[in-house]
Amino acid sequence: MPLFAFLSLVHLLSATAVLAATPPPGISFPREADALPILNLPYASYRAKSYNKDKDYYRFANVRFAAAPTESLRWQKPQPPPKESTLQDGSVGSQCHQAQTSNFLSWYFENNQPASEDCLFLDVWVPGKAARGEVKDLPVLDFIYAGGYVFGSKDWFLYDTGLWLENSDNNLIYVAGNHRLGAFGFLAGPTVEKEATSNLGLHDQRAVLQWIQDYIYLVGGDKNRVTLWGLSSGGSSIMHHVIAEGGKLNPLFQRAVLHSPAFLPIYDQTTMETSFQNFADKVQCRGKGIECLRKVPVDALQKANQDTVLNAPVGQFGFGPAIDNTFIRDLPLNELRKGNFARGIPLLMSHHKNEGLTFASSVKSDKDFDNLVASNFPNITASGKDQLNALYPDKPGQSAFRRTAHFVAHYAVNCNVRAMAAAYTQNGGSVHVYRLSALPAVHGLDTFFNWLRPGISVHKKLDFNAVLHLDEKPALSIDIDINFDNPLHRGIASKVQSLIASFARDADPNRWRHKGMKEVPPTEVKDDGLQVLDLGYEDETVELDDLAPKKECDFWAGDVWTGRVPA
């Protein structure tokens, strides 16, 4: 055989060997008995972390969906994940850096897992029948966690479950990913817009959605039936996705569930730049830009992140989605009012009867109320403040706490629900809204209703010094051991969960709802509120919800309170 022909044959055989060693994309089952299946992606392979034999579903944990956003990739959009030749088993993965606030909610969602900048991982729960190729094109439910854009994780103890596969009789695929938080995910202002990228937490969420578009078919999912689901900051993230680039950007999901969508608007360029420079000053980078920040040790950045959040003005967390003039061009309520949003997305939404109580505890006098307004809306005109006080007057016999709770519920949560409902119903969209009146009916309580399951309990040590950020010794603490598996919670939880699972399966909350439960009616948007299904621990009634009236919500959908358009 001529030498050239021999070398060509060797090259061909070598190439064939390499191809044979690289498994085709999809799920493969090793020959070994009881070996867990492997998800083969073009860039890496992941062995399933666990298998629930009784319920027949697999969990693939800590699948990397983007490169580690460290060093030169800090404050950059998520980049494609690197290729990995070693089989991954789900043990490598961290939550994103967290920041506690003075609000009790930060303890409530506290997660004691290791945190790292290298945190852009997702989990996928896959029914066994889909993993084995017996079915395909299952709908997908993608969850965005709560946490005020400064704390939260896909791995919080309540979230770590195959509950949604069980609720759907193994007829959907569940995905949950991390996104960058606080200063790591939401630095904003002119310097950031020029030298880096704002709203990175939102871009991370979008990267998870893009991963679903690219790879969910490999586990039997349908990229054209993706439900994006979020609570609190997760819910308001969805609002920002539908108005991204003025509503012209493909949102990469086809239906959405928003629970108590909450955020604190960040819109003033001067204020954003001041906040950015104040953060940079904490690590000796004032006036030196993003390149300086990229060289700062991560521990110093995290310390500055925590300090910024803890010392944020009353009613704020320090970071969150901001107008950046490209991805987010205006406040969501303005964009929705103007018609600048992605059309054709069925919505399931909810909120609580007492949303504002969670955030009003620091206000004890009308002077405190005035200070809250001044710190949150520094550019409001005198006329605009007169309008605000007329909408939320200092009534005789009404405490400043109640006044504040009413005010915060509107501008932070309830009017967001109304704005989404109004925008989508006016364009012929399918919208269903329910209200939770189960006491105490405060912001965040639906987390338990969404995730409670038989046998779930909380075993935590509540350190008051940590929650209140005190250095006093000895620490003031109590041990908490609560079992939530009681008939009332289990009853309302199973109802709420059935609505979410039904909607994710069929874009209809009623088709697979809890047996005997009333239907959630199509939402009617009226001047004095929304037509909703009210859910208590036992009662269900269809009624007019007056917690988001047109007059107050029109004020928050305008520009008077921002100072951008004088009254």
Dump pLDDT digits (tens) for 3-17: 444 444 444 444 333
Global pTM reads 0.92
Q: What is the CATH number of the domain that holds 37?
A: 3.40.50.1820
Any domain includes 161:
yes
- Decide if 53 is inside a domain: yes
Which pLDDT belongs to residue 482? 52
**Any alpha helices (H) in 144-254, and if so which ranges?**
163-167, 182-186, 190-195, 200-215, 233-242
Q: Which of 146, 141, 129, 226 is nearest to 176 (CA)?
A: 141
The answer to whether residue 470 is domain-embedded is: no
Amino acid 87: pLDDT:
97
Q: Which of 106, 168, 232, 233 is catalytic?
A: 232
Q: Which region among 26-35, 55-64, 430-439, 515-524 has the lowest average model confidence (pLDDT)? A: 26-35
* CA distance linking residue 280 with residue 292, whole number of Å: 9
Per residue in 372-411, pLDDT (tens digit) is 999 899 999 888 999 999 999 999 989 999 999 999 999 9
Task: Give strand ranges (E) for 180-262.
Answer: 221-231, 255-259
Q: What pLDDT is stored for residue 18 in this prediction?
A: 40
The answer as to whether 224 is a domain residue is yes
- Per-residue model confidence (pLDDT) at position 466: 46
362 catalytic per annotation: no
- Which residue range is the domain that position 102 belongs to? 3-345
What pLDDT, in 10s, does the model give residues 160-215?
Answer: 889 999 999 999 999 999 999 999 999 999 999 999 999 999 999 999 999 999 99
| Omega before 80 within 30 of 0, i.e. cis | no
Per-residue pLDDT band at 461 (split at 50, 70, 90)? low
Q: What is the pLDDT of residue 16?
A: 38
Please state, in angstroms and rounded to a whole number, the distance separating the CA atoms of residues 121 and 94: 8
pLDDT band with cut points at 50, 70 and 90 for residue 452: confident
Let me know if residue 43 belongs to a domain.
yes
**Does a structural domain hold residue 14?**
yes
When divided into structural domains, the chain yields a total of 1
d(CA 237, CA 146): 10
On whether residue 562 sits in a domain, the answer given is no
**548-560: average pLDDT:** 94
Neighbouring C-beta atoms of residue 261, cutoff 10 Å: 29
Please say if the pLDDT value at position 468 is more than 80: no
In a domain, 240, yes or no: yes
